[in-house]
Amino acid sequence: MTAQQRLTLSLADARRLLVRHHGRPGSLTSVIRRLGTIQFDPLAPLGTNPDLVLQARVPGYRQGGWQDAAYRQRLLVDGWDKQASLIPPEHWWAQAPFHHWFARRWQQRGIDIDSPEARDILDQVGQRGPSTSLELGDQRSDPALRGSWYGPKRSRHLLKALWDSGRLMTHHRVNGRHAYDLPERVLPNGAREADVDEDDALQHLVVRRVQAAGLLRPAADAAVWLLPCRRAERDRIASRALDQGRLIELVVDGERYWATPEAVSLLDDNSASFGDAERSMRFLAPLDPLMWDRRGISRVFGFDYVWEVYKPREQRRWGYYVLPVLWGDRFIARFDAQCREGTLTIHAWHWEADIMPSRLPEGAPEALQRAARDFLGYLGADRVVLPRGLGREARYAWQRAAK
């Protein structure tokens, strides 16, 4: 296919592409390479978002495994993509546009990353090694910063600015809190950001965003396409990637999408390894890259998903922390749950309208039992509390999985 040529896919082909891209089981290293970025979120009723993303793809993954991958093996480092994310360290060079963008934004807020105060913090880190915000800078509160997202300490704002601009990196975390260190001591091969071509870096960011999602609409919401440039600039960079064959433009049900050549090639791959992906059931993270473009998922799968975690309780329809349930190429349910001290409590289970709880589709109970068994293993849970409305077959599948 020539550069900029459009490929038309049916909805069924689009679903198959996404299921093959996201559903293939693989090693931790291969999944990190396949996605290129994993969004970080600290909420953890069922493990953090990186945990949930990885358990859906890496057989035998256990909760907290991403921290070993990031802070001991250095397969991942904390960076910025769609939001705060985990990225491979070899991608660090492409953070340069984000670093410049954040430095300007912090400057506009009165935080100067080149100030004597900032240099003093960098000197402290250089001398002490990895340190948290409790150990660095002036610990006094600034009345002008009360009510701020980052708290009332000016030093915390400065540390965040230094992190956002790439002057500091996360060496590890202490109870969720960043332990900051210098990039040359965190990156396996040292810091490699000097003399980065801005267009090359932006192209890497655009292609990686598409790569992670598998199939992504150019018209997706601004939150999905957060980049250190305006949308017109993104379109110029994307056109460059299309010309170079780094991206392919697709038309699905009359709407434009972008995908990588690697993802599109999965449609022609007749390998038997895709069988499990197309038959298995998996529980997805609310911020799984497959779920980023929720309007796109609605168009392709007919599944309307809303994350209600920040809604007041009385305004929630589905629950606090709701995981979509994907079986083969269809979403069949969603559930709200929490795990504490080895007990998984499912607060609510909602079947999709075309699913009869009293008589599940052929193969669904067995697929659910396998998925539930793996999910309990991932959580380290040996007990499950089930809600009403689950249905006899599904209840039995969960009970068998817990034995």
The per-residue pLDDT for range 185-207, each reduced to its tens digit, is 999 876 566 689 999 999 999 99
Residue 284 lies in a domain: no
**pLDDT mean over 133-145:** 73
Output the CA torsion 144→147→152→158 (10° steps).
-90
**pLDDT mean over 168-196:** 88
- What pLDDT is stored for residue 270 in this prediction? 80
Sign of CA dihedral 115, 117, 122, 126: positive
The per-residue pLDDT for range 250-287, each reduced to its tens digit, is 999 999 999 999 999 999 988 766 777 778 999 999 99
Residue 340 in this model has a pLDDT that exceeds 60:
yes
Of 72, 147, 159, 71, nearest in space to 113 by CA: 159
Six token digits for residue 396: 């039995």
Q: Judge if pTM exceeds 0.85.
A: yes
Q: What are the strands of the beta sheet with 383-385, ordered from one edge?
A: 281-283, 322-327, 330-340, 343-351, 383-385
Residue 1 in this model has a pLDDT that exceeds 60:
no
Q: Are residues 243 and 313 in the same domain?
A: no
- What pLDDT is stored for residue 188 in this prediction? 87
Residue 169 lies in a domain: yes
**DSSP conformation class of 322:** E
Residue 251 lies in a domain: yes
Residue 113 in this model has a pLDDT that exceeds 60:
yes
Q: Are residues 53 and 194 in the same domain?
A: yes
Residue 280 lies in a domain: no
**pLDDT mean over 1-10:** 74
Residue 34's Cβ-side half-sphere holds a number of Cα atoms within 13 Å equal to 23
Q: Are residues 334 and 242 in the same domain?
A: no
Residue 78 lies in a domain: yes
Q: Are residues 228 and 358 in the same domain?
A: no
Q: Which residue has the higher pLDDT, 346 or 109?
A: 346
The per-residue pLDDT for range 366-383, each reduced to its tens digit, is 999 999 999 999 999 999
Q: Is the CB of residue 168 less than 8 Å from the CB of residue 146?
A: no
Q: Are residues 332 and 207 in the same domain?
A: no
Q: Are residues 159 and 77 in the same domain?
A: yes
Q: Are residues 217 and 132 in the same domain?
A: yes
Q: Are residues 10 and 60 in the same domain?
A: yes
- What pLDDT is stored for residue 273 in this prediction? 65
Q: Are residues 245 and 369 in the same domain?
A: no
Residue 130 lies in a domain: yes
Q: Are residues 235 and 349 in the same domain?
A: no
Q: What are the strands of the beta sheet with 38-39, ordered from one edge?
A: 38-39, 84-87, 77-80
Q: pLDDT band at 2, cuts 50/70/90?
A: very low
Residue 232 in this model has a pLDDT that exceeds 50:
yes
Residue 216 lies in a domain: yes
Q: Is the CB of residue 246 less than 8 Å from the CB of residue 203?
A: yes
Of 344, 356, 341, nearest in space to 386 by CA: 344
Of 171, 164, 267, nearest in space to 215 by CA: 267
The per-residue pLDDT for range 290-332, each reduced to its tens digit, is 999 999 999 999 999 999 999 999 999 999 999 999 999 999 9
Residue 273 lies in a domain: no
3-state secondary structure of 348: strand
Q: How many domains does the chain have?
A: 2
Q: What is the mean pLDDT of the chain?
A: 93
Domain with 199 in it: 1-265
List, as one string, the DSSP characters of 273-320: THHHHHH-EEEPPTT-GGGSSHHHHHHHH-------TTS-GGG-SS-S
**pLDDT mean over 123-150:** 79
